[in-house]
């Protein structure tokens, strides 16, 4: 069965290691907060906006997911650092855990989300 896709944002809205775009995905118990960013090298990635340590949202202000160097995503609550391309926590209280990946793709200048695909745990949910 084909999945419907939903527009998240224009690809130009995401600069490498810049501000992300927040959106929601359908979860089993209702909407879940998610975000998409463009990582260094130009890839677009999306994750649930939920730190594996305490379940808090990562951004310290809406859309601010990268720490100041732009190399890592950071949890504003406890300072955990995550590899942007994989979601793997490399420093902080949840070291070794991963952000839950959300399936997105960039096509024809648009970042698209499948409405029907639930978020998948771990870094290998999408490529």
Closest by CA position to 32, among listed 124, 118, 122: 118
Task: Please give the backbone phi and psi of residue 11, each rounded to the nearest 5 degrees, phi first.
Answer: -60, -30
Distances (CA, A) of 72 to 29, 37, 84, 92: 30, 11, 6, 12
Q: What is the pLDDT of residues 18-72, one digit of tens each?
A: 999 999 999 888 999 999 999 999 999 999 999 999 999 999 899 999 999 999 9
- Confidence band of 2 (pLDDT split at 50, 70, 90): very low
Residues in the chain: 127
* Domain ranges within the chain, ordered by starting residue: 5-114
- The radius of gyration of the chain from alpha carbons, rounded to an integer in Å, stands at 13
Does 119 have pLDDT greater than 80?
A: no
Q: Quote the pTM value.
A: 0.87
Pairing of strands 21-27, 5-10: unpaired
Architecture of domain 5-114: 3-layer Sandwich (2.102)
């Amino acid at each position: 069965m084909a999945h419907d896709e939903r527009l998240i944002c224009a690809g130009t809205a995401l600069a490498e290691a810049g501000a992300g775009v927040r959106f929601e995905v359908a979860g089993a118990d209702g909407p879940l907060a998610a975000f998409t960013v463009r990582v260094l090298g130009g890839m677009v990635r999306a994750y649930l906006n939920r730190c594996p340590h305490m379940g808090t949202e990562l951004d310290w202000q809406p859309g601010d997911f990268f720490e100041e160097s732009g190399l890592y995503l950071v949890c504003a609550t406890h300072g955990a650092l995550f590899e942007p391309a994989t979601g793997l926590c490399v420093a902080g209280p949840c070291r070794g855990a991963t952000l839950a990946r959300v399936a997105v793709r960039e096509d024809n200048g648009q970042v698209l989300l499948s409405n029907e695909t639930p978020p998948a745990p771990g870094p290998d949910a999408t490529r």
